[in-house]
């Protein structure tokens, strides 16, 4: 990845190195574009999010960099800019997800898994790229992703199941798209059900009745929206092919939860508040 954007990075470094150079760059940007809202800034090589910010801003001023080419020691070629745009498009997914999940004021745990699945499927697509740099970058991403996936997989899926808008149906849809096999997807979902049942039993063994007190509580804000909703398309496609849910024998409260229809999908549903309103 570094080799593909080094000239763009060097150009940003040159024009942001001193106040005088940056002033000249800003003046040219205003002359050509009429505005200069986002300031160019060098990234931290070890942080993908800062690289995305650097590239997305630099791409806004590609024409400015090219106009000032005669005054800079390093000039990105057309191919350099083309690769920078491809990389920026891919890093945007990581940037958006990080922005969403890093907001400590939001209840976002239930959003982890579908977003991570989006990344998994995207990396798999990128590995088939005919661009050697993209293919190499995707391979390295996959190695890091696999370790992360194994560390947090169980925790994320439980949070999805507890979202009354998706429950097990979303897992079925995502696992089917990831594995491409109904039997493997069913096996993965059954493991999640087993994990959740064990957690419920463990909770029932240790729970203590605590008197509730009336008082003002701070309600968590609704989560910010992110524009990468491929997983929603996957979910909608899966649900459109499913038969209507029929009544079955309910063995436990957890079974009852699974048997109930999904809630309408709304972006601003407060999961914690919804659970608090459930009857005891």
pLDDT in tens, 113-133: 888 888 889 898 988 888 888
Q: What is residue 105's predicted lDDT score, i.e. its pLDDT?
A: 56
pLDDT in tens, 137-189: 888 888 888 877 766 677 778 888 888 888 888 888 988 988 888 999 899 88
Average pLDDT score over residue span 36-45: 92
Burial annotation 232-243 (CB, 10 A radius, 16+ → b, else e): eebbeebeeeee
d(C-alpha 277, C-alpha 247), whole Å: 24
d(C-alpha 167, C-alpha 157), whole Å: 9
**Measured CA angle at 107 (ends 101, 109), to 5 deg:** 60
Q: What is residue 20's predicted lDDT score, i.e. its pLDDT?
A: 96
pLDDT in tens, 7-20: 999 999 999 999 99
- Is the pLDDT reported for residue 28 higher than 50? yes
Residue percentage of the chain with pLDDT more than 90: 26
Q: What is residue 67's predicted lDDT score, i.e. its pLDDT?
A: 95
- Average pLDDT value over all residues in the chain: 80
Q: Which of 8-17, 187-196, 217-226, 265-274 has the lowest mean pLDDT?
A: 217-226
Average pLDDT score over residue span 59-82: 93
- Is the pLDDT reported for residue 276 higher than 70? yes
The larger pLDDT score, comparing residue 248 to residue 74, is at 74
Q: What is residue 103's predicted lDDT score, i.e. its pLDDT?
A: 61
Q: What is residue 52's predicted lDDT score, i.e. its pLDDT?
A: 94
Nearest to 254 by CA among 208, 211, 213, 194: 194
Q: Are 76 and 84 in contact (CB under 8 A)?
A: yes
Q: Is the dihedral of CA 117, 123, 124, 129 positive or negative?
A: positive
Average pLDDT score over residue span 207-224: 44
pLDDT in tens, 221-262: 444 444 556 766 776 777 677 765 444 443 577 778 788 888
Compute the 3-state secondary structure of the chain and give helix, strand, coil in percent, each to the nearest 5. Answer: 65, 0, 35
Q: What is residue 58's predicted lDDT score, i.e. its pLDDT?
A: 96
- Is the pLDDT reported for residue 274 higher than 70? yes
Q: Are 12 and 56 in contact (CB under 8 A)?
A: no
């Amino acid at each position: 990845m570094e080799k593909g954007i080094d000239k763009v990075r060097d150009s940003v470094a040159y024009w942001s190195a001193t106040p005088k150079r940056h002033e000249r760059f800003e003046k040219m940007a205003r002359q050509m574009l009429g505005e200069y809202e986002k300031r160019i800034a060098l990234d931290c090589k070890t942080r993908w999010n800062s690289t995305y910010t650097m590239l997305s801003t630099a791409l806004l001023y590609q024409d400015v960099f090219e106009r000032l080419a005669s005054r800079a020691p390093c000039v990105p070629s057309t191919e350099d800019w083309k690769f920078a745009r491809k990389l920026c498009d891919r890093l945007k997914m990581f940037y958006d997800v990080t922005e969403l999940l890093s907001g400590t004021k939001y209840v976002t745990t239930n959003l982890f898994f579908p977003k991570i699945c989006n990344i998994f499927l995207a990396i798999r697509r990128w590995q088939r790229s005919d661009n050697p740099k993209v293919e190499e970058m995707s391979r390295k991403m996959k190695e890091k992703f696999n370790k992360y996936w194994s560390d947090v997989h169980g925790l994320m899926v439980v949070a999805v199941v507890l979202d009354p808008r998706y429950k097990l149906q979303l897992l079925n849809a995502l696992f089917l798209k990831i594995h491409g096999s109904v039997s493997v997807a069913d096996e993965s979902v059954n493991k999640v059900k087993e994990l959740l049942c064990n957690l419920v039993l463990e909770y029932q063994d240790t729970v203590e009745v605590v008197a509730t007190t009336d008082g003002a509580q701070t309600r968590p804000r609704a989560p910010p929206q992110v524009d990468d909703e491929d997983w929603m398309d996957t979910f909608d496609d899966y649900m459109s092919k499913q038969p209507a849910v029929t009544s079955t024998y309910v063995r436990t409260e957890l079974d009852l939860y699974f048997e109930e229809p999904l809630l309408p999908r709304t972006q601003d549903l407060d999961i914690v508040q919804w659970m608090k309103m459930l009857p005891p």
